[in-house]
Amino acid sequence: MPEDQMYRIIGGAFRKRAAAMAAATGSTESLEDEYLIDSQEEEVGTAFEWPTSTGTSSLPNVCFIITGKPKEGQAARFVMPMDTLLVAGYPQAGALLDWSQAVLEVNRMSANLRCINWKELPRPSDLLTATLFSSIKSDPSTTGALTRLVDVTQSQPATLESHLLYLLTASSLPYANALASRIQQISEALKEDEDERLTLAPQSIGHLISFLESNPRVAKPMLATSPLGHVMAKWIWNNGKMSIHFFPDGKAHCIISTPNPLHSEKQDQDSSVTTADALGIKLERQGALRLIQT
Amino acid sequence: MKDEKLPDSDHVVRHCEKKFLYDDESVSAGNFQLRKDASGKIVEEYLSVGWLERYSVGTRATQLEALRRFMHPNIRKFHKKDKLAVLNVGKSIAAVHNGTDGLNTIRILHEPSEEAGREDEAHCGIFDTGVDEVRIAELLVEAIDEVVPAR
C-alpha cells in the first residue's frame, strides 16, 4: 500500500493527506481540515484508500476501509467530506458483531485488494446513511462538510446493515455494540423460520436508535419484534415496566405499567401514541422518562 | 362445540415463539399479534390457543405435559427456546375490557381443528384482537398467569 494512500486515525482524528485526497476525488474543497473524532492522541486505526468500480452515478469511485478497534466504551466516529464513502470493517454480517474479527478480515482484504468481490460487501449507498451522520450533525466543527453530506445521505434509504454499521462504528450509545448484537440476533432468528419469511423493518430500527440517542441516559432496553418486523423495546424496573413499539412511519406506541397509587396490588396501564421523535419530550413531561434512565 | 365460549374459570395456552420473545426470554406483545401479509393485511382470523383443561385432567403440570406431548411435533413444532403462556379465560377478557376502558371485548372460542393430520379437539381462538392490536396484545401479556418452556 503506497504511503500516500494511507490515512492514520489518530486519537479518533482523521488526518487527511491532502494531495492524495485531491487526486483521488478531484475535489476542489479545502482538504486541510482535520475532523475530530475524540480528543485522545493515540493511533487507533488506519484508513486505506480503496478505488472501487461500483460505478454509482451519484457517488465517486473512492472509498476508505477503516481498520482499528475502538477502546472499550469509545465509539469511533468518522466524519468525511461528501465525496468520500466510508467502509468500516464490514466483510460479512457475522463479523460485524466482533470488531476484532472484522478488523482482521479487513486487513486481509486490504493486503489483497484485487481479489475482493465487491458484491460481498454492502452497496455503497448502504454505507451512507442519514443516521450515520445524524449524531454528529450537532458538532459545530463539522457543519460545513456535513451540510451537503446529509443532503446526500438522507436521500439514501436506510437498511438493517447500515443501522448495524452505524451502531458499531459511529453511535455514541454506551451499549451500541450490544444493541447491534441483539438486532442482528433478532434478524437471524427471523431468517431461521423457513415457513414464514419475516424481516426487521429498517425504518423501525432507525426510530429506536434515534430515540435512544436523543435520550442518552435511557438504559439499554430489551428488544423484540412484532410479526410485521417492527421493533419493540422494553424496560422493567422494580414495580413497573414500559414497552415502546416503533413503527416504520415514525409512530411510537408507548405502554407504561405502574402500580395504582391507591391500590398498590393493582397495576395501571397507560397507553399513548405519538411520534418517535417527540417521545422523549412527552415521557419527560409525564415524569416517565426517569423510570427508564440509569 | 365449535364457537362455544370457554368458561371463565378455564385456561388457554399460547405458543410463544422464540423469535418474538424479548431477549429470548420473556413473552412480548409480538407473541400476541396476528400474522400479516407483506402489505400489512391481517391473514389470521384469531390467535390460536389450546384449551388447557381439554388436554388432561390433573394438575397444571400434568395438563401442560399432556399438551406438549399432543402438540409437538405433529400439530405444532415447538422449538427449543419457545415458551408456553398460560392465560385464564375470564381474567384475560376482563383485562382487555378494563384496559381499553370498555372499548374492546375479546372472545375466546372453541375452534376444534379438523385439518387432516393436525386434528386438535382442544384448539381455540382469541378473537377480536385486531382493533387496537398493540394495546390488546400488551394487555394479554399482562394477563398471563404463567410462562413455561415449550419443551
What H or E segment, with its residue span, contains residue A232? strand A231-237
**Residue of chain B with shortest Cα separation from A183:** B23
**CA neighbor of B51 nearest in space, from B96, B5, B20:** B5
Look up residue B124 and give its amino acid: C
- The SS3 call for residue B132 is coil
All three cell numbers of A84: 468520500
User: CB distance B20–A243 less than 8 Å?
Assistant: no
User: CB distance B33–A227 less than 8 Å?
Assistant: yes
User: CB distance A224–B138 less than 8 Å?
Assistant: no
pLDDT value for B118: 82
pLDDT value for B42: 84
Q: Which tens digits make up the pLDDT trace of A35-86?
A: 333 334 344 444 444 333 333 333 333 334 343 444 443 333 333 322 233 3
Question: Would the pLDDT of B33 be above 80?
Answer: yes
Cα gap A15→A7, rounded to integer Å = 6
Residues of chain A neighbouring B92 (CB-CB closer than 8 A): none
pLDDT value for B116: 82
pLDDT value for A157: 59
Of chain B, the percentage scoring pLDDT greater than 70 comes to: 100
Q: Which tens digits make up the pLDDT trace of B104-149?
A: 999 999 999 888 888 889 999 999 999 999 999 999 999 999 999 9
Nearest by CB to residue B19, choosing from A190, A257, A267, is: A190
Cα gap B27→B144, rounded to integer Å = 9
Cα gap B149→A169, rounded to integer Å = 37
Cα gap B111→B123, rounded to integer Å = 5
Cα gap A15→A71, rounded to integer Å = 19
Cα gap A104→A49, rounded to integer Å = 17
pLDDT value for A179: 93
- State the average pLDDT for chain B: 93
The radius of gyration of chain B from alpha carbons, rounded to an integer in Å, stands at: 15
Could you tell me the end-to-end alpha-carbon distance of chain A, in angstroms, rounded to an integer? 46
All three cell numbers of A170: 459511529
Cα gap A44→A120, rounded to integer Å = 26
pLDDT value for B135: 95
Å between B133 CA and nearest CA of chain A: 11
**CA neighbor of B92 nearest in space, from B104, B110, B80, B74:** B104
- The SS3 call for residue A71 is coil
- The SS3 call for residue A149 is helix
User: CB distance A227–B18 less than 8 Å?
Assistant: no
Stated pTM of the model: 0.68
* Residue A4 to residues A7, A25, A276, Cα–Cα distance (Å): 8, 14, 45
User: CB distance A224–B21 less than 8 Å?
Assistant: yes
Enumerate the H helices of chain B as residue ranges. Answer: 52-55, 60-71, 89-99, 133-142
Q: Rounded to an integer, what is the distance from CA A213 to the centroid of its chain?
A: 10
Residues of chain B neighbouring A220 (CB-CB closer than 8 A): none
In this structure, is the dihedral angle defined by the CA atoms of residues B60, B66, B72 and B76, taken in order, positive or negative? Answer: negative
Cα gap A233→B23, rounded to integer Å = 10
All three cell numbers of A66: 477503516
Contact present, A164 and A180 (Cβ < 8 Å): yes
Look up residue A115 and give its amino acid: C
All three cell numbers of B106: 375479546
Residue in the block written with cell 451499549? A175
Å between A232 CA and nearest CA of chain B: 8
Cα gap A228→B13, rounded to integer Å = 23
CA atoms within 13 A on the CB side of A228: 22
- Give which of B15, B26, B28, B132 to mutate to test A binding, by max A Cβ within 10 Å: B28
Residues of chain A neighbouring B19 (CB-CB closer than 8 A): 186, 189-190, 192-193, 198, 225
Instruction: Collect all residues from B whose CB is shorter than 8 A from any CB in A.
Output: 17-26, 28-30, 33-36, 40, 99, 134-135, 138-139, 142
Nearest by CB to residue A224, choosing from B22, B36, B99, is: B22
Nearest by CB to residue B29, choosing from A189, A198, A232, is: A232
User: CB distance B20–A224 less than 8 Å?
Assistant: yes
In this structure, is the dihedral angle defined by the CA atoms of residues A168, A173, A177 and A183, taken in order, positive or negative? Answer: negative
Å between A184 CA and nearest CA of chain B: 12
A/B interface, count of CB pairs below 8 Å? 66
Contact present, A145 and A27 (Cβ < 8 Å): no
pLDDT value for A288: 94
pLDDT value for A162: 72
pLDDT value for A43: 43
User: CB distance B23–A253 less than 8 Å?
Assistant: no
Neighbours of B78 (CB within 10 A): 20
- Give which of B41, B82, B134, B139 to mutate to test A binding, by max A Cβ within 10 Å: B134
**For every one of its 294 residues, what pLDDT tens digit does chain A have, with 9 covering 90 and above?**
333 333 333 322 333 333 444 444 555 444 333 333 333 434 444 444 433 333 333 333 333 434 344 444 333 333 332 223 333 333 222 223 333 222 222 222 232 222 222 223 333 333 332 223 333 334 434 333 333 333 333 334 577 877 877 777 667 889 988 898 899 889 988 888 777 778 899 999 999 999 999 999 999 999 999 999 999 999 999 899 999 999 999 999 999 999 999 998 888 889 999 999 999 999 999 999 999 998
Nearest by CB to residue B134, choosing from A182, A186, A253, is: A253
